[in-house]
Amino acid sequence: MILPVTNLISIRNFSMLSIHTHNFGPYENCVYVVYANVKKVAVVVDAASGSFEGLKKCLAGHEIHLFLTHGHWDHMCEAAKFQRELKAVVYAHKGDQNWFATTEQCKYAPPGISFETISPNIWVEHGQMIQCGDLVIKILHTPGHTPGQIALYVESLHSVFVGDTLFYHTVGRTDLPGGNFDQLKDSIRHILYTLPAHTLVYPGHGKKTTLGAEQQHNPIVPLRENSL
């Protein structure tokens, strides 16, 4: 069978760079791993409770780039273990610096969660392009759920990792300290919804969706205010 060139390109990309989804912790956080196998580079999105033990064998021997979507404990509580034991380079946005630097938020975690503060290696900025092996990641600053919430857009995989900003047919909560619903709405409408509609959305919890599906069917932040 002869495939058109465009299909061949996408098959090649997906065979080299596929997204693995893992669920860890009491809130079933989604932790994503993308292996750029040729260069033994692994990109990890978030460091939920249990993720270090769960992933350390698979990640051993890789150059690891760990992106923290935001500073809530359920997304970053084991980041220091990745940094210390696996020499991961940790990326995050300075807007959530307080969450990363103190144990203050442990009051929100159930008993028994191992929590360590983290000093990220690199503070990222909106619009920054970061190359990790064959993967090019565009940082999008999408405040609202927290001040330092980011999304990671990977155009070559038609994918965006959004943390707790946008979920399947709902959005992230804004009632925790630093949350702001108007900002969240602006981040979704004016940043995420400007990406191609076929873009796959990989959220911090729950199942995947697409931007097009959320533009049409999200009951809280549809594409336009009056489209309900």
Q: Least distance in Å: CB of 5 to Zn ion?
A: 40
Q: Least distance in Å: CB of 25 to Zn ion?
A: 9
What's the CA gap between 140 and 161, in Å, rounded? 10
What's the CA gap between 138 and 154, in Å, rounded? 6
Q: Least distance in Å: CB of 20 to Zn ion?
A: 19
Q: Least distance in Å: CB of 46 to Zn ion?
A: 9
Nearer to Zn ion, 78 or 164 (CB): 164
Please enumerate in sequence order all residues whose Cβ is within 8 A of that of 190, keeping only pairs 6 or more positions apart, or say none: none
Q: List the one residue from 93, 204, 214, 221 that touches Zn ion (CB under 5 A).
A: 204
Nearer to Zn ion, 36 or 140 (CB): 140
Nearer to Zn ion, 164 or 214 (CB): 164
What's the CA gap between 97 and 51, in Å, rounded? 22
Nearer to Zn ion, 74 or 214 (CB): 74
**Residue bearing tokens 């533009």:** 215
Judge contact between 86 and 64, C-beta under 8 A. yes
Q: Per-residue contact track with Zn ion, 147 to 176, x per CB under 5 A?
A: -----------------x------------
- Which of positions 66-125 make contact with Zn ion (CB under 5 A)? 72, 74
Nearer to Zn ion, 63 or 116 (CB): 116
Q: Least distance in Å: CB of 74 to Zn ion?
A: 5
Q: Which stretch binds Zn ion (CB under 5 A): 43-51, 54-62, 178-186, 197-205?
A: 197-205
DSSP alpha helix (H) spans, the chain: 5-16, 51-59, 73-76, 79-85, 97-101, 181-190, 211-217
Nearer to Zn ion, 10 or 23 (CB): 23
Tokens of 112: 């028994």
- 214 touches Zn ion (CB under 5 A): no
Judge contact between 167 and 129, C-beta under 8 A. no
Strands 89-92 and 63-67: parallel
Nearer to Zn ion, 182 or 225 (CB): 182
Q: Least distance in Å: CB of 113 to Zn ion?
A: 13
Judge contact between 131 and 108, C-beta under 8 A. no
Q: Least distance in Å: CB of 72 to Zn ion?
A: 4
Judge contact between 152 and 131, C-beta under 8 A. no
What's the CA gap between 121 and 108, in Å, rounded? 25
Residues that bind Zn ion (CB under 5 A): 72, 74, 164, 204
